[in-house]
A and B are shown apart, each in its own frame.
Chain A
Amino acid sequence: MIHAYQLNGYNIILDVFSGSVHVVDEVAYDLIRLCETQSAGEAVEALLEKHAGNPEITRQELLDCLDDIEALRRAGKLYTEDVYAGKAFDFKRRNPVIKALCLHVAHTCNLNCDYCFASQGKYHGERALMSFEVGCQALEFLIAHSGSRVNLEVDFFGGEPLMNWEVVKRLVAYARSRERECNKKFRFTLTTNGVLVDDEVIDFCNREMHNVVLSLDGRREVHDRLRRTVNGKGSYDLIVPKFQEFAARRGQKNYYVRGTFTRNNLDFTNDIFHMADLGFTELSMEPVVCAPSDPYALTEADLPVLFEQYEILAREMLRRKEEGRGFTFYHYMIDLKGGPCIYKRISGCGSGTEYLAVTPWGELFPCHQFVGDPAYSMGNVWDGVTNTMLRDEFQLCNAYARPGCRDCWAKLYCSGGCAANAYHATGSIRGVYEYGCELFRKRIECAIMIQVAEAQRKKAKKQEALV
């Protein structure tokens, strides 16, 4: 399968199952697309007819291009067959270990954001803080079920995790005390709204947290509209200086300033540029996930606007990079050489199998987005995963388990998508959240285009240097 598209003046061919990316001229673009469904002879005749009167497009030119196409096919870089479908379920069965936990250390929050999927931190339940004892048991559960995996991830999440800060610090110390003995290496992440960030938090996090996620929606008026304190005041002025300090003292690395965009700010690129102008370099902006009836929900009619926004973002990122003031956008990060192997691409985020969420009471859920839904309770940190039927369902949920993904060129980039989004949109974790897919495909097209543009830029500079 190939995916051919034109973006920002480039003709791009993605060979889906090898991962190869080709940037081609108009003639090769047509020929490669035609040769996928027609014989070489038919393709050549069709193009000769299209370019009749153009002396530069001769039969010999097309035959030479066909030779190149054939060479790429033989090298396994074009029209590669899908050899993974049959193996997909074996891949998932191979690694029945747990390597990541999302610790809900605080089911409470000091902000009252309208769109919060955690319903202001309570996850549709009672307010609660995780005790040190429950947290320790969760860490022991992770160590015990991680097999030979060395790198273990623990995310301090909420609600607002800084509302249980002493427990967070004690849990980090406890985990560190177990690393050598257990041959494990913990990588911690903290996600925060910033309200309680102070010097001590910054120092500790910059010493111990592999990653921090700082929630900011962009421009003051956009942020303050939905991210308000319990008294109804906007939180922008309170948190932005703290986040700037946080990121600067971290050396502008291993963090994300993460926002959510809604129907209120369809021009969300202006919020991303605002974040960049505030000095942040590691940025993420997610489409809101909410009920279609919510007033800020994104609609089908918004899609063309959002597609255009993603293109604007890609072009602006290229421009700023050239000017020496580039920034990273999470969804445009794509390492064509050092990216994930095929196992990762098929098995996905690992929710319900490699990755579990733990409530303040020690109950296990497939991921943070299922917390509070009794149908998705999987067990607890003392008894382990007891709902093995549910685990098996998640284990077999991969890029090849969803009929809706069968013909999608992007399935090895999303690995079948988010199980929680699929569940909330269709009632089944094997469903397809098509709206999210539309945005995802656009983002991957833009991400690959950026790689193409940068490769072309490097090549041009190299040629300039030779002249």
Chain B
Amino acid sequence: MKRIETLDTRDLAQSAKDGGCGECQTSCQSACKTSCGVANQQCEKCCSED
């Protein structure tokens, strides 16, 4: 595509089918403790596949 470049991303719709194992980290256990963000959490399945 001449004018559009698409980054390689996880397909969220697909993750509705293959996600949800619940083994991932609980957000607040990491560093923030005063806000909620899940974007910076890693998928436990993706980590173990790497």
Q: What is the 8 Å Cβ interface bit string for chain A, positions 418-443, against chain B (1 contact, 0 not)?
A: 11010000000000000010001001
Q: How many residues of B contact A (CB 8 A)?
A: 44
**Which residues of the partner chain B approach A338 to less than 8 Å between Cβ atoms?**
10, 42-43, 46-47, 50
Q: Which residues of B contact A287 (CB under 8 A)?
A: 34-35
Select which of B3, B13, B28, B39 is within 8 A of A102 by beta carbon: B28
- Check if B46 sits within 8 Å of A22, measured CB to CB: no
- What residues of A have a CB within 8 angstroms of the CB of B9 in the complex? 18-21, 336-337
Of B16, B34, B50, chain A has the most CB atoms within 10 Å of the CB of B34
Interface residues on A, range: 35 or more
Most B CB within 10 A of own CB, among A24, A64, A349: A349
Contact, CB under 8 Å: A286 / B34 = yes
Residue of B nearest to A150 (CB): B23
Given contacts A333-B40, A412-B12, A440-B37, contact A21 B26 (CB under 8 A): no
Contact of B36 (CB < 8 Å), options: A84, A150, A341, A416: A416
Interface positions of A from 398 to 431, Cβ below 8 Å from B: 412-419, 421
**Which of A90-98, A124-132, A388-396 contacts its partner?**
A90-98
Query: In whole angstroms, what is the CA distance A62 to B27 when docked?
Result: 43
Contact code string A64-104 (vs B, CB < 8 Å = 1, else 0): 11001101100011001001100100010011010110100
User: Cβ of B3 and Cβ of A28 under 8 Å apart?
Assistant: yes
Chain A nearest CB: distance from B20 CB in Å? 4
Question: A151 contacts the other chain (Cβ, under 8 Å)?
Answer: yes
CA distance A338 to B10 in the complex (A): 7
A131 to B48, CA, bound (A): 36
Q: Fill in one digit per residue for B14-44: 1 if any A CB lies within 8 Å of its CB, else 0.
A: 0110111011111111111111111111111
- A277–chain B nearest beta-carbon distance, Å: 20
Do A155 and B23 touch (CB < 8 A)? Answer: no
The answer to whether A22 touches B7 (Cβ under 8 A) is yes
Instruction: Of the listed stretches A175-183, A262-270, A318-326, A350-358, name the one at the interface; the rest are far from the partner chain.
Output: A350-358
* Cβ-defined partner of A440 (8 Å) among B2, B11, B27, B35: B35
| CB–CB A289/B26 < 8 A | no
- Tell me which residues from 437 to 467 in chain A have a Cβ below 8 Å from any Cβ of chain B: 440, 443-444, 447, 451-452, 455
Q: Which residues of B are at the interface with A, using a C-beta cutoff of 8 A?
A: 1-13, 15-16, 18-20, 22-44, 46-47, 50
Spell out A's residues near B (CB within 8 Å). Answer: 17-25, 27-28, 32, 64-65, 68-69, 71-72, 76-77, 80, 83-84, 87, 91, 94-95, 97, 99-100, 102, 117, 149-151, 153, 155, 187, 189, 191, 211, 213, 256, 258, 260, 284, 286-287, 289, 330-345, 348-351, 354-355, 367-369, 412-419, 421, 436, 440, 443-444, 447, 451-452, 455
Between-chain CB contacts (< 8 Å), 23 pairs: A21-B9, A27-B3, A84-B16, A87-B16, A100-B29, A102-B28, A151-B44, A187-B25, A256-B30, A256-B31, A260-B34, A331-B32, A336-B10, A338-B42, A339-B43, A342-B12, A342-B19, A343-B20, A345-B38, A349-B38, A369-B33, A415-B38, A451-B7
